[in-house]
Structure formats: C-alpha cells, structure tokens
C-alpha cells in the first residue's frame, strides 16, 4: 500500500535557544510532523529534554508531535509525554521487557504507538506485536547523536519490515543520516516517514522549505 511521504524534522538539530520559533518555522515550511528525540543519558549517552520542554513548545505548532523515547524504562514516562502534547510515542524494543503491555499503554493514552529497532536488532521481534503497532522506526544510525552517516546495510532491513507488515496500516519511519541523497533509497526500500535533522535545519529558517522540498523530491 503506497503512503504519502511524511517529513519529520528532528528538533535535535534546531537552535534550542529559539525552539518554539524553530518549530513554527518548520511548520510553515511544510513539515508534517515534529520529531522529538528524547535521550536520558543512560539508554544512550546524550541527554536532551523532558516533558516540560515539550509542553512549553506545544503551542508553537498544530503539527503531529512524534516523541522518540531513547530511554531506559520508558513505561514510567509515557503518561508524562502524552500529557505534554506528544501524539505519537515510539519506544525501543531493546528497552521494553514487556513490549506488548507498553504498546497497549501508549494507545490507551490516546497516542499512536511505535517501536524502534537499533541497527543490530533483528526484525523478528515485531512478528507478534503487529496488531499493537502504528509505526516501526528503523534506525539508520546508532542512536544517541545527531549528524551521523547513514548505514546502508539498513536498506534490506527496511525492506524486511515492509514485507512483514504486508497490507497493514503501519508507517515505516527511518531516522539517521537522511539527506536528499539517501531519501530516495529509503523510500524505495519501503519507508514513508523520514526523520531529518541537519538536512532540514541547515541554512537558517529561510532555507527550511527548500530543504524539506529536496527531501520530498
């Protein structure tokens, strides 16, 4: 099933001193989603932001807020991010010992439920939770840092996820090293949601629309 391409700029690459304005700018530039890279300094080395920041910028855009929780023990944070304004919450399969329960809890909060796979993580773990899923995120870099190079070995993995999903209404998101040069490759492999940081936010607000258009085309 063909789906429209969704561009989800990662605010990790934005100017944090002007975060609300940056989110408004990517909204005006045509981004469909706002991607929130949440890092806890434990599951991944970096530390980014928590629910109070999400809540403070929620009014800057009516676009879909997509929270990617790169955290240990995400279950304790689900309600906080939903309350702050996240409309989609993605957790890492590696961090969820009771993944079925976690995904059910996300949906009970009124959010779309996603599962992220690190580069080394096999696709098989998705087989028995497909009825709980709204999105699969294939990491095309190792999580925890922006600006990394795209791992081409993830292209067959995207295709494998696409095959496993079949005709189900589940989005396939990719995150890491997405540029105009790699966007076509991941779309051809089966992805329809592209997370991009520096490829969107380079050049300042006047360049954001052209940067987003370049990814989409």
Strands 33-39 and 6-9: unpaired
Residue 14: which pLDDT band, with cuts at 50, 70 and 90? very high
- pLDDT, mean of residues 132-144: 94
State yes or no: is 37 an active-site residue. Answer: yes
Q: Which long-range contacts (CB under 8 A, 24 or more apart) does 179-182 make?
A: 179/150, 179/215, 180/214, 180/215, 180/217, 182/140, 182/150
Domains present along the chain, CATH in parentheses: 6-216 (3.20.20.70)
Residues 72-119 pLDDT 10s: 999 999 999 999 999 999 999 999 999 999 999 999 999 999 999 999
Closest C-alpha among 98, 46, 47 to residue 74: 98
* Active-site pick, 124, 175, 206, 213: 175
State yes or no: is 213 an active-site residue. Answer: no
Tell me the pTM.
Answer: 0.96
* Active-site pick, 2, 15, 37, 80: 37
Q: What is the pLDDT of residue 165?
A: 97
Q: In percent, how much of the chain has pLDDT > 70?
A: 99
3-state class of 191 per DSSP?
coil
Closest C-alpha among 202, 125, 133 to residue 173: 133
Closest C-alpha among 6, 8, 13, 4 to residue 35: 8
């Amino acid at each position: 099933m063909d789906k429209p391409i969704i561009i989800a700029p990662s605010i990790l690459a934005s100017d944090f001193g002007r975060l609300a304005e940056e989110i408004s700018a990517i909204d005006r530039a045509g981004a469909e989603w706002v991607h929130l890279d949440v890092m806890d300094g434990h599951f991944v080395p970096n530390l980014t932001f928590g629910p109070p920041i999400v809540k403070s910028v929620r009014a800057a855009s009516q676009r879909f807020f997509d929270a990617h929780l790169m955290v240990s023990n995400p279950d304790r944070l689900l309600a906080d991010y939903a309350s702050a304004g996240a409309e989609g919450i993605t957790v890492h399969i590696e961090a969820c010992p009771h993944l079925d329960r976690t995904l059910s809890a996300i949906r009970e909060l009124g959010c779309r439920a996603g599962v992220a796979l690190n580069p080394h993580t096999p696709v098989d773990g998705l087989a028995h939770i497909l009825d709980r899923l709204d999105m699969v995120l294939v990491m095309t870099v190792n999580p925890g840092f922006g600006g990394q190079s795209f791992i081409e070995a993830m292209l067959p993995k995207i295709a494998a996820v696409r095959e496993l999903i079949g005709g189900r209404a589940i989005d396939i998101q990719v995150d890491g090293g997405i540029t105009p040069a790699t966007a076509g490759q991941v779309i051809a492999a089966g992805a329809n949601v592209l997370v991009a940081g520096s490829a969107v936010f380079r050049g300042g607000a006047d360049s954001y629309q052209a940067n987003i258009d370049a990814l989409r085309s």
